[in-house]
Structure 1
Amino acid sequence: MKVWQKLSLIHKIILGMMVGAFLGVTAPQLQAIATLGNLFVGALKAIAPILVFFIVMSALAQHEKGQESNMKLIVFLYLLGTLAAAFVGVIASFLFPLKLTFGQAVQSEVSPPQGVAQVINTLLMNLVDNPVNALSQGNFIGILFWAIIFGIALRAANPQVKALLETCSEATSQAVRWVIACAPLGILGLVFQTVSTNGLDIFTTYGSLLAVLIGSMAFVVLVVNPLIVFSMIHENPFPLVFKCLRDSAITAFFTRSSAANIPVNMQLCEELGLDEDNYSVSIPLGATINMAGAAITISVLTLAACNTLGIKVDFITALILSVLSAISACGASGVAGGSLLLIPVACSLFGIPTDIAMQVVGVGFIIGVIQDSCETAVNSSTDALFTAAAEFHYRKQEGLPIWPHVSNESTETVSIIQD
C-alpha cells in the first residue's frame, strides 16, 4: 500500500492497463471484472453534467466587468484545429486511396441526419432543451446554455448567493477528484472488457482503413497541433502536447466519451495552473465543438466510399468536403450516434445514396472499437491543449510567467517544460 500511494496517477493507470490486458487474455471468463470499468465510466458520466452546470454558472456569476477572457481565442483554435484535421483526412485519402468491401451493414436504431440544415436544427433544439432534462440526459449543449444564462443572471446576486454557488462548485469538484482517484481500477475493467470480447481479426480485415485513420489522427496530434501551439507561445510545444496526451488522451481512449473525460480535463487544467474562469467554460465547450478526430473520420470514410464507387473527386471539391466535415463534426455531439452517423451528410455531397452511405456507417461501427477510442482521445486531449495554449499566449503578451503555480504531481513535468 505504501508503494501504491507513492505512485503517480498515470503510473497507477498504466499498471491497471497491464493487469487488465493480462486478465483479458488469461481469464476472459471473469466478466465481473468488466463491472469496474462500467462503474467508472458511469460515475464520470453521472458527475460530469452536474460539474459543468455548477462550475460554469459559478464562474460567470463571479466574473467582473472588464476582467480578461481568452474565450474568443480558444473558440478560434477549436475551429481552426477541427478544419485542419478535416483537411489532413482529405490529403491522407488522396495519398492512400482506400476501397471498402461492403457487407451487411450494422443496424442502428438511430436515423442519420438528412443534411447540414438538420444538424444545425438539432443543435439549436438541444440548446433550448429543458434544463432538468439536459442534466438528466447529459445534453451538454443545453447544460452550457442554461449555465451561461443563470450565471449571467446571478452576477447581480448578493455575495452570500455567490459564495453558495462557489461552495457547490468546489464540492462537486471534490467529488470529481474522488471519482478520478478510482481511474486505475476503472481502466483495468475497461481494458479487460476490450481484450476479452474483441479479437485481433479487426486489425487484419480493416488494417488499411485503420492505418489511414489512426495515422491521420497521429499526424494531427504530433504535427498540426504542435504547430498551432507554437504559433501561440513561440516555445517548444511538445512537452505541453505530451502532458495533455498523457493525462487526458489515455483516459479518453478507454472511456470513449468526451463528456466523461470533462472532469479529467478540468483536473489537468488545474494542474497546469490555468484560470478556472476560462477552463470551466472552454473544456465543456470543447467537448461539444472541438472535434478534430470526428472530422478525420468523416473525411476519410466519405472519400473511401467515393473510391469504392469510382467517383472522382477534384481538389476544389475536396476542400469543400473539408469544410463540410468540420461543420458536421462540430455537430457530432448534438446527433445521437456521434460522427459515424454524420457520414451520410458528407456522402450526399457526391450524390451517394443513403443506403450505400449507411453501409459505410456499418463499416465504421465494425472498426469502432479502435476508431472511436482514438477519435475521442484526439478530441478530448486537444480541448485542454488549446485552452492552455490560449492562456499561455495571453501571459506571454503580458510578460507574465507561463507557469505561475502547479500542483505537486505536475512539478516534475513543468520543470522539464521550463528547461
Structure 2
Amino acid sequence: MTAVSPSPLHRLKSTGLVTQIIIGLIAGIVLAWLAPDLAKSTEFIGKVFVSALKAVAPILVFVLVMASIANHKHGQETHIRPILFLYLLGTFAAAVVAVIASTLFPSSLVLSTQDVAVTAPGGISEVLQSLALSVVDNPVRALMTGNFIGILAWAIGMGIAIRHAGQPTRTVLEDLSNGVTVIVRLVIRFAPLGIFGLVASTLATSGFSALLGYLHLLIVLIGCMLFVALVVNPLIVFWKLRRNPYPLVFTCLRESGITAFFTRSSAANIPVNLELSRRLGLHEDTYSVSIPLGATINMAGAAITITVLTLAAVHTLGIVVDIPTAVLLSVVAAVCACGASGVAGGSLLLIPLACSLFGIPSEIAMQVVAVGFIIGVLQDSAETALNSSTDVLFTAAACLGEEERARGAA
C-alpha cells in the first residue's frame, strides 16, 4: 500500500512560523512586482493584523503582569535591575555609534519650507513630565490609548494588592492570563498573512523612488542600526553571558525583528516578544514586566535616528560640533529615545529637542522631521526591528546570565 504524500497546504501548515513569515514576505514582494494594483488591495489584510496586535497587547500586558506579581513566590529573583541596566547601556551605546558614524560620514539635507502638522515637545523636562503623567494615567484611558507605562503601573499596583487575596482569586487571575495568552498565540499564527499584506501594499504604494535622494542618509542610519544589532549588542550579551552571543542574537532578530520591521510598532510587537520569551524558557515574572517596559524605554534605534538626523541638520547648516557637545548629544538622544512613543514615527518628533542643543530653530528642525517621514518607510521599519528584537535579547541575556551566576555560586 503506497503512502499518500501530504498536500502543499498541509506541508505549509506543518512548517515553522518563521518559515511561513519568510514565505509571506517573498510572496508579497513578488505580488507587488508583478501586479501592483492587486497588491495595493492587500493593505486591508496588513491593517487587520496590526490592529489585532495593537488591540490585544494592552489587555495582555495588564493581565499578565498583574497575574505574575499576584502569584509571585517570595524569594524568586526577577532580574529586572540588570535588564534595566542593559536597556540604558544599549541605548546610550547606540547614540555614541550614531555620533561617530555621522562624524565619519556626514550627511547633507535639502531643507525646504515644507510645514509638518505635528507638535514636538519643548524640552527634555517636558518629555520627563509626560512620562511621569503617563504613570498616573487613568487605567481605562491607558488601556484604550496603549499607554504601557500607565498600564504597567496599574498592573503592578493591582498585582501587589491581589497577592494578599485568597488563593481562589489568584487562581482565577492566572486562568484569565492563560486565556488571554491563547488569544495572543492565535493572532500571531496569522503573522505570515499579515506580513504578506503589509509588504505587498507598502511596495506597491510607496516604492523606493522617493528614497533615492536620501540614499546616503539612509545608508548611515541603517548602517548604524546594523552595526548595533550585529556588533554592539552581541558584545554586550557576551559581556553578560561569557559565551558566543550570536545564536541568541540571530534568534531574536529572526523571530522578533522580522515581524517588528513590518508592523513598525514596538507596542504591536509586544505579544510576539512575550511569546518568544516563553519559548526561550525565560521566567514569566521577569519577561512579563521587562518586555512591555522595553517597548517604552529600550530605544536604541530611536537614539540612532535622533542623533543621525540632528547631526545631518548640523552639517547642512555648517555648525561645528566639538567632543563635549557630541557626548552631551549622546546623553540627550538616549534620554529622548526613552521618551519616544512606541508607535510608528514616534522618535521623529523628538528631533527638535536634540536640534535645540545647537541653536537650530524649530522651523528648520521640523523640516528635518519632514525628511524623517519621507524616509520612514525604511528608517522606521529598521528602527523598530532593532528596538523590539533588543527587548527580548537583553531580557534573555540578563535572565540567563543571572541564572548561570547563581548556579556558579551554588
Question: What is the TM-score normalised by the length of structure 1?
Answer: 0.93
Task: Mark the CA change 1:398 to 1:60 in structure 2 (over 3 Å): closer, same or farther.
Answer: same
Aligned equivalents of 1:32 and 1:59: distance in 2? 42
- Indicate whether 1:170 and 2:204 are aligned: no
- Indicate whether 1:26 and 2:38 are aligned: no
Deviation, structure 1 residue 203:
3.7
Query: Which amino acid is 1:209 matched to?
Result: L
* Matched residue, 1:107: 116
* Matched residue, 2:200: 192
- Indicate whether 1:69 and 2:96 are aligned: no
Kept in 1: contact 2:267–2:342 (CA 8 A): no
- Indicate whether 1:13 and 2:13 are aligned: no
Counterpart pick for 1:320 among 328, 334, 340: 328
* Matched residue, 1:305: 313
More moved, 373-382 vs 389-398: 389-398
RMSD after superposition: 1.3
Task: Mark the CA change 1:335 to 1:321 in structure 2 (over 3 Å): closer, same or farther.
Answer: farther
For residues 128-157 of structure 1, what are the alpha-carbon distances to aligned partners after superposition, in whole Å with 9 as ceiling and x for unaligned? 111001101111111111111111111101
Any unmatched runs of 5+ in structure 2? 1-8
- 1:259-270 equivalences under 5 Å are 259-270=267-278
Aligned equivalents of 2:58 and 2:231: distance in 1? 33
Deviation, structure 1 residue 309:
0.6
Kept in 2: contact 1:247–1:268 (CA 8 A): yes
Aligned equivalents of 1:385 and 1:224: distance in 2? 12
Kept in 2: contact 1:122–1:335 (CA 8 A): no
Deviation, structure 1 residue 32:
2.7
Kept in 1: contact 2:265–2:342 (CA 8 A): no
Deviation, structure 1 residue 106:
5.5
Kept in 2: contact 1:141–1:334 (CA 8 A): no
Deviation, structure 1 residue 98:
1.1
- 1:22-101 equivalences under 5 Å are 22-30=30-38, 31-101=40-110
Deviation, structure 1 residue 105:
3.0
Aligned equivalents of 2:101 and 2:347: distance in 1? 18
Aligned equivalents of 1:181 and 1:32: distance in 2? 22
Kept in 1: contact 2:116–2:367 (CA 8 A): no
Deviation, structure 1 residue 288:
0.6
Counterpart pick for 1:235 among 240, 243, 249: 243
- Indicate whether 1:349 and 2:357 are aligned: yes
* Matched residue, 2:339: 331
Deviation, structure 1 residue 256:
0.2
Aligned equivalents of 1:335 and 1:197: distance in 2? 21
For residues 20-62 of structure 1, what are the alpha-carbon distances to aligned partners after superposition, in whole Å with 9 as ceiling and x for unaligned? 1111122222233211111100000000001000000111111
- Calculate percent identity across the aligned residue pairs: 59
Kept in 2: contact 1:98–1:307 (CA 8 A): yes
Query: Which amino acid is 1:253 matched to?
Result: F
- Indicate whether 1:159 and 2:167 are aligned: yes
Kept in 2: contact 1:106–1:366 (CA 8 A): no
The SS at the match of 1:172 is helix
* Matched residue, 2:127: 119
The SS at the match of 1:112 is coil
* Matched residue, 1:370: 378
Kept in 2: contact 1:140–1:284 (CA 8 A): yes
Kept in 1: contact 2:266–2:342 (CA 8 A): no
The SS at the match of 2:77 is coil
The SS at the match of 2:41 is helix
Deviation, structure 1 residue 399:
2.5
Kept in 2: contact 1:332–1:342 (CA 8 A): yes
Deviation, structure 1 residue 104:
4.3
Aligned equivalents of 1:145 and 1:63: distance in 2? 17
Aligned equivalents of 2:90 and 2:109: distance in 1? 28
For residues 150-192 of structure 1, what are the alpha-carbon distances to aligned partners after superposition, in whole Å with 9 as ceiling and x for unaligned? 1111110110110111111110000000000001100000001
* Matched residue, 2:6: none
